[in-house]
Amino acid sequence: MKKHKLNRTIANFLLSVHFLLCYQSKLNFQSPLTMAADALLTDLFKQLASTISQLAKEEIKLLGGVDDEVEKLQDKLGFIKAMMDDAEERHAVKQHTGKLWLAKLQDKYYEMDDVLDTWSTARIKAEIEKEEGKPADVNAPAVVKKKVCSFFPSPSCCFNLPLRHNLGHNDLGHKIRKLNEKLDEIFNDRVKYGIDFNRQPEVVERPITTSFVDESDIIGRDNYREELLSNLLGMGSPKERNPRVISLVGMGGLGKTTLAQIAYNHSEVKAHFEKRIWVCVSDPFDQYKVANEIIECLEGQPPNDTELQSLLVKLCSLIRGKRFFLVLDDVWTEDFTKWEPFRNALKCGAEGSRILVTTRKTGVVNMMESSLIIDLGVLSINDCWLIIKRIAFSDDYGEQYRDLEELGKQLANKCKGLPLAAKILGSYLRGKMSKKEWEKVLHNDLWHLEDIENGLWGPFFLSYYELSSSEKQCFLFCAVFPEDYEFDKFELIINWMAQGYINSKENIEMEVRAEHYFENLVMRSFFQDFKKDDNDGKIVSCKMHLHDFAKSMAKDVCFEINYSSDKVEKDFQRARQLSLIVKETFPEYVYNAKNLRFFHLNFWSSKTVPPELFDHLTCLRTLHLEGQSTLELPNEVEKLIHLRYLKLSCISLKDLPETVCNLCNLHSLDVRKCLKLEKLPQGMGKLINLRHLLLHDDGKIKSFPKGIGRLTCLRMLTYFPVAIGGEGDEICKLGELKNLSHLRFLRLKFDTIDEKTKLRRRMDDDVLVLNGLESPPRLESLKIEFYMGTRLYPIWMMSLTTLKKLTLSQCLTLECLPPLGKLPLLESLVIASTENVRKVGDEFLGIELEPKNKTKNKKDDYDIVFPNLKFLKFLYLDNWEEWKEIGAAREEVENGTLRIMPHLQSLRINYCPKLKSLPGFICTTQIPSLYELVINEEPSLYEYGIGEEWDKISQIPNVKIGYRYVQRDGHEVKSLLGSLIDSKEFSHPKYQH
């Protein structure tokens, strides 16, 4: 009876939540002050459908008396999803009481999630305990876990737990009943709090731009203006499409439209083009509207036609044979099908015609096939101050602003280089002439100076409103980090996953979807100052744009405290994120933040984490403990049953408590900064949801505990010590990796060896061990270090069919490179410190594996060697003397039936002092995509800058020899030619950049 009562309670609870959300979905929240709560509800709608549907099918049908209610609930699910498809058209809730109502709903939402996650965790632990009761067998199949459904914000919740299973029903049932009652109470209070479900939508309208501008108001854009005018008035390349498309890219408020207006009205532009057209495109991209406005601009009156085909025919006739200049301002669509009819019609113009596009999205730039991209940067503080004082004071400044200049520059810094922000701030300060008034503005939130939705701040929010609810949460999450913090992209992604912001779909992994979110935020300029991987050109780190804006939006739930004492007066009741730096005593006020989901704790002195911490902060999804010296992790960490991401940053940490292995929901364990960590806990095999095991590259861990093969969710293993000889039965062997079917990234580090007498035996062992490895079927990135064999054999290498990135490093006895040319997806290849390699030839390309008598019948019937390779780097090959010309397949290369590295973009050769020449196929006639050649510390190759061999590489746009450019952007750097060999000064690594 008790079980049936609990089951009925759970069903009624879910039913109550459903009806609450049905009504709530009618409330469209556009106010940015409520956007965080709104984002939670949006994802809840989407996830609730699949969650309850699965639960209903598998479990609730087993219960008596609730079938009818569940059937009604299922009938409503389609309606919920349809409502959420229109989630971006939201109604504003501006009343303070309405915000309080939303806050209460949000809090209960989190509480509900914790209850369900507790339920799921008990199920997972029961499975682990059941599995541990069996005899250990590393060769047996790993535990088959049931499908994991994402219930925001806990992406690994498992909801197919049998309700009849004894998992502490009394406690959970009590919590669910109380929560159900509270949700009913909140919903019934909606009228009292002024919530109106029938309010008409309010939207922030996109501003309509015109071609008119006062150029005297423009500050700090001279360089961009000159570059733009030069490209508008120049002849361009014969290979370029006509008309040539030039794009101005940047986030709202950077001055893209203003720069376009300056170019449009420039006297030389007016004289150069026969026709000039200005169209404010905005969003959505209305083909009829755009066509009508172009024709009206050309004819002086709107056309009578209503069909797009007729409009485009007329457009073509009006520009045929004429050199025109078309500005498409504020383009948002990335749909090529909407742009293609215009692209084709505009080809009727004369050579030299130009299209100038302003946009916030790099996707638009690619869609419109831009030949030139001008990415607008931010203004300097001084330029922002010039804009502020020009607007805040009268034309005759006199001396009135002198006393305010220091404060003014501090205010200018708050503009973050955005000219629109400086204009808004200048307008707000007009008429305020006292220091007291300026200090008040300085210490207040810049984003709340006016009606931020409908006022001049509107352009900043257009990009924000374009984001999905999950992307908004990902962006706002960044506010907990300090301003100008440099984010590691991958760490940011796994934080988003841990917090539950990534809505995983079937066949799309969370990491892949999170990467899409990141790319979308990049396209909309929410991130900046990118650093890229030298080996594959992908973004590895960035900084956040508009930190103050994000912090303002998340101010009730996000806190950052530095060096504070127990006297800090903050209300942590609703806190979800906290970054805390402790200098001496740990402040106990943190214990009041019982609902924290993200906690970064930085000890600046020798400290032990107080065990009491884990009694209070039990809702944590992310925990980052950082210590400058000694830092110990207590056994009590196991109490954090909801934890998804554990990061420890302490050089002195030598081991982890065994209780870490009880964190069965853990997605990511990051100990990359624990340089002295010597071993992993023996029970690591219990972390069956672990996706990322991140260890230091040069760590002291010599072997892994047995059972790593059970971690079948593992995607990334940054370090695996290959223990030759297998000391002890509890050592994890390389063979266990065959069970890791989801592994994407793997680094194998073989034992280093000092005794030369053991070298031969060690060489044979390494070959046997590596060739015996059954490669994980989805492996995309592989690094092999300290392998001591003389060869890497073809059969094993050819099994790496999904590999995109490969690094071979410190393979000191390797005598020839493996046949990598046939790897179909390989994009990045690094060969480093293989000092026994003297020649590179056909075997590297894989050509010698081809049948000797193989012939091609047709010109277009060809083979490709390294079909997807984009980045190739050779580093520290001390004895490499020759990169041989094509031998066995010379005829195939010459007649075009064999292509080599057709997509190579960058070739770097560093510290290979004996290399004398490059093969003939390294030139743009055969590799048109090659844009960069870097040769450093190779005196014998310096002649490429001045001798006859220059013809081999002269078509490569960027050539750098000895850390100095010989050719840049297709132009010779003449000051370096002829003097490079004698210029020993510039061979020093300090000049590399």
Residue 19, pLDDT above cutoff 80: no
Query: 454 vs 29, 32, 203, 430, 451, CA distance in Å?
Result: 15, 11, 8, 20, 6
Residue 893, pLDDT above cutoff 50: yes
| Other Cβ atoms within 10 Å of 766 Cβ, number | 23
pLDDT at 202 (0 to 100): 53
The model's confidence at residue 21, banded by pLDDT at 50, 70 and 90, is very low
The distance in angstroms from the start CA to the end CA of the chain is 74
Nearest to 672 by CA among 494, 406, 848, 523: 494
Summarize the confidence of residues 174-181 as an average pLDDT: 64
The model's confidence at residue 488, banded by pLDDT at 50, 70 and 90, is very high
Determine contact, residues 797/818, Cβ cutoff 8 Å: yes
Residue 95, pLDDT above cutoff 90: no
Please list, residue by residue across 835-846, b when 16 or more beta carbons sit within 10 angstroms of its beta carbon and e when fewer do.
eebeebbbbbbb
pLDDT at 70 (0 to 100): 33
Question: What are the φ/ψ torsions at residue 279 (nearest 5 degrees)?
Answer: -130, 125
Q: How many residues does the chain have?
A: 993
Please list, residue by residue across 238-272, b when 16 or more beta carbons sit within 10 angstroms of its beta carbon and e when fewer do.
eeeebbbbbbbbbbbbbbbbbbbbbbbebeebeeb
Report the range of poorest mean pLDDT among 102-116, 263-277, 826-840.
102-116
pLDDT at 936 (0 to 100): 83
Summarize the confidence of residues 619-635 as an average pLDDT: 87
| Other Cβ atoms within 10 Å of 77 Cβ, number | 17
Summarize the confidence of residues 937-954 as an average pLDDT: 61
Alpha-carbon gap, residue 38 to 101, rounded angstroms: 12
Tell me the residue type at 829: L
Q: What kind and span of H or E run contains 277?
A: strand 275-282
Helix 336-345 with 308-319: angle, nearest 10 deg: 40
Which residues fall within 8 angstroms of residue 46, CB to CB, at 6 or more apart?
Answer: 81, 84, 152, 503
DSSP-assigned states of every residue in 380-414: PHHHHHHHHHHHHS-SS-TTTTGGGHHHHHHHHHH
- Residues 489-527: pLDDT tens digits? 999 999 999 999 887 666 788 999 999 999 888 877 788
Strand boundaries in 654-715, DSSP class E: 668-671, 692-695
- Residues 722-778: pLDDT tens digits? 866 555 556 778 888 888 889 999 999 887 655 554 565 567 778 878 877 777 888
Summarize the confidence of residues 860-885 as an average pLDDT: 86
Tell me the residue type at 602: N
DSSP state of 527: E
Residue 620, pLDDT above cutoff 60: yes
Alpha-carbon gap, residue 674 to 126, rounded angstroms: 32
Nearest to 743 by CA among 713, 706, 767: 713
Range picked from 364-378, 561-575, 674-688 for highest mean pLDDT: 674-688
Alpha-carbon gap, residue 939 to 853, rounded angstroms: 41
The model's confidence at residue 643, banded by pLDDT at 50, 70 and 90, is very high
Sign of the CA dihedral running 7, 8, 9, 10: positive
DSSP state of 908: E
Summarize the confidence of residues 443-467 as an average pLDDT: 63
Half-sphere exposure of 752 (CA within 13 A, CB side): 8
The pTM of this model reads 0.76
The model's confidence at residue 982, banded by pLDDT at 50, 70 and 90, is very low
Residue 665, pLDDT above cutoff 60: yes
Nearest to 419 by CA among 256, 626, 662, 634: 256
Determine contact, residues 938/913, Cβ cutoff 8 Å: yes
DSSP state of 508: B
Residue 568, pLDDT above cutoff 80: no
Determine contact, residues 868/821, Cβ cutoff 8 Å: no
The model's confidence at residue 990, banded by pLDDT at 50, 70 and 90, is very low
Pairing mode, if any, of strands 882-883 and 839-840?
A: parallel
- Residues 36-74: pLDDT tens digits? 445 555 555 455 444 444 444 444 333 333 334 334 333
Question: Higher-confidence residue: 146 or 457?
Answer: 457
3-state DSSP assignment of residue 513:
helix
Summarize the confidence of residues 794-819 as an average pLDDT: 87
DSSP state of 126: H
Q: Could you tell me how far CA 421 lies from the centroid of its own chain?
A: 27
pLDDT at 907 (0 to 100): 93
Alpha-carbon gap, residue 804 to 778, rounded angstroms: 10
To the nearest whole percent, how much of the chain has pLDDT over 90? 25
Alpha-carbon gap, residue 912 to 922, rounded angstroms: 17
Arithmetic mean of pLDDT over the chain: 76
The model's confidence at residue 812, banded by pLDDT at 50, 70 and 90, is confident
pLDDT at 828 (0 to 100): 95
Question: What are the φ/ψ torsions at residue 708 (nearest 5 degrees)?
Answer: -60, -30
pLDDT at 921 (0 to 100): 79
Question: Cis peptide before 284, with omega less than 30 degrees from 0?
Answer: yes
